[in-house]
Structure 1
């Protein structure tokens, strides 16, 4: 259940494009045709699915404070978290280079149509954002990090595929001259973001259960506050009586 919830949440609610607006340069530049959008989206899914779990392992066993304790007690105090950006980007660049070699070998037409944007996946903020969000949200297991990476990649893929399909259609529509090109694309992106945000209420079961568990504790705290206020009021009344006497 936890994997499924994280999977759908990373696709719809925490979508890289519509929730955090990451990877917008490639999203806008390569979304003129569905074929190129599908190719780049598939490459992003692959890179995120591989780099997020690898970076999770690096974070857990190398970068976090005390992560080197597996080497011995004398390494338990080491903190290499300042190397997070360098290590994450190195992993991403390696995977992107692998994707570029594979695409050039097996799909040269797609490789030529993607052009410079395929190697630029290495500096795509959505790719680095996936690893950094994984780190900041403290995803507990390798399996969940893989789920998060795949879900985030699929979310980005759906975003660029949807906008590419729409842009192919509106090419033959009578768009006002002032809005042609990026203008109408930004408007459509905003409307799509609203649509994706509407999924925010689909995964609230865990939150409701947590609220039910916290409700008795909240009532106890309220009662304690009432007692404190009552005692304070009595003290104020006593002090006021003494002063008047």
Structure 2
């Protein structure tokens, strides 16, 4: 197998019911992979069905250790293996630092950091020699350009995505040292006008940081050398690349897909 052809591989995508995760799932399927969508949103079942035969859906709360164990085992049982894991599920709650709420901090820590950590745990256990799949593979964590820039009202979110970057690099080193045969990388998406991205722009205006939603979006574009917002396909193509043999010597890396915003 060469290039971007993922025929014969099985991918599990968290948060794949909608938004960036849905785009990633569709791109992986288009490249030939069998895809298991894992989400708390039951609409993920419809998304999986729309991919065609040979794909699946599993309910998964990424903060639940036992849920992860069941999801990875179910992927192997239903689709025949696990070669690619995309830790995409995440949550962003905007707030000025002086107004941040304890429950909001905990939610972002749980989903963005704990959820990614558990994905790494069970992905590596499943893919390593002796695991239920045991053929090695690729884990792709979804960080954010927020991990590399100082943008207002997303301090906690930025911190959690910085943690995703650090966990990625340590996991890659552990996997290599222990002979797991699993590459671990992360992607830093720029702002994409999904429900989450549009919500962030609205929050910026409501917090008084910009005079309007349009001004908030304009500020992001002004910071981006490519002169536009990101598109779902931009992020999905990066994930397919990191899942494929084209990236076979890319490991422990953070790939900016942000139009240069975080340079």
* TM-score computed with the length of structure 2 as normaliser: 0.24
> Higher helix share goes to which structure?
1
Larger strand percent = 2
- Structure ranking higher on relative contact order (CA contacts 8 Å, 6+ apart): 1
TM-score by length of 1: 0.25
* Greater C-alpha Rg: 1
